[in-house]
Amino acid sequence: MKRLSTGIVFASALLFLPLAPSWGQEKAAHGGDAGQQTASPASPGAEQAALAKLAGDYDRVVKFLGPGAAGMPSFKGTAKFSVVLGGRFLMEESTDTVMGRKVDALRIYGYNNATNQFEMARMYTMSTAITMMTGTSRDGGKTIEYSGSTDNMGASRSSLHAKLHIMNDDEFEVTMSTTGDDGKDAPFQSTTYTRKK
């Protein structure tokens, strides 16, 4: 019986061996870049390295956008970005003061090698929800456009978009928007990050 089960395990292992080289060949056939052809789906690559460059301490300025936002004050805060889990993810911890109230937030940024998509998870102290978003970039990671959805006080869900745009090594901006009644993108908040010197 022991010999039979060992034989089954060995045969099963042989079935999966051809998949490893064919995965790299399939990536090459679909135009994957040279770095991705040999990288494991579990290993950080160029996209993770680009996100890691954002690591550091920042000042944040948050502004409200859209109709009715003209009279609303902006608010300030700070953020710390850390590279975690062996370079696979970027973690943001931020603290803002909004109308005299302290608001803490945590965000995780990454790039999923298996799906070829950027991913982001957003959490803050004004909610118990985790907002999950996925995104793509057309300019090598300088601008990442994320999409997801959010609950409206538990009554319904609405679309949510975030655009992360890197201006230079020390400054980037995240613009949040939703879909307006006219079906067009309607920005409602922008956050500018400036690296502390």
Give per-residue pLDDT as tens, 91-123.
999 999 988 899 999 999 999 999 999 999 999
Summarize pLDDT for 118-162 with one digit per residue, the tens: 999 999 999 999 999 999 999 999 999 999 987 755 556 788 999
Predicted pLDDT of residue 67 = 81
Q: Judge if pTM exceeds 0.85.
A: no
DSSP secondary structure string for all residues of the chain: -HHHHHHHHHHHHHHHTTHHHHHHHHHHHTT--HHHHHS-TTS--HHHHHHHTT-EEEEEEEEE-STT-TTSPPEEEEEEEEEETTTTEEEEEEEEEETTEEEEEEEEEEEETTTTEEEEEEEETT-S--EEEEEE-SSTTSEEEEEEEEEETTTEEEEEEEEEEEEETTEEEEEEEEE-TTSSEEEEEEEEEEE--
What is the pLDDT, as a whole number, of residue 31? 37
Structural fold of domain 46-195: Lipocalin (2.40.128)
Provide the percentage of residues in the chain whose pLDDT is more than 90. Answer: 61
Q: Name the more confident of 175 and 66.
A: 175
Asked whether residue 24 carries a pLDDT value surpassing 70, the answer given is no
| Domain spans in the chain, listed from the N-terminal domain onward | 2-38, 46-195
In which band, very low, low, confident or very high, does the pLDDT at 12 lie, cut at 50, 70 and 90? Answer: very low
User: Would the pLDDT of 195 be above 90?
Assistant: yes
Please tell me the predicted confidence (pLDDT) of residue 92.
98
The mean-pLDDT minimum among 57-61, 169-173, 182-186 falls in 182-186
Task: Give the residue-averaged pLDDT of 7-23.
Answer: 36
Confidence (pLDDT) at 155: 55
β-sheet bridge partners, residue 177? 161, 187
Question: Could you read off the pLDDT of 64-95 as tens digits, one per residue?
Answer: 998 877 778 889 999 999 999 999 999 999 99
Q: Is the pLDDT of residue 26 over 90?
A: no
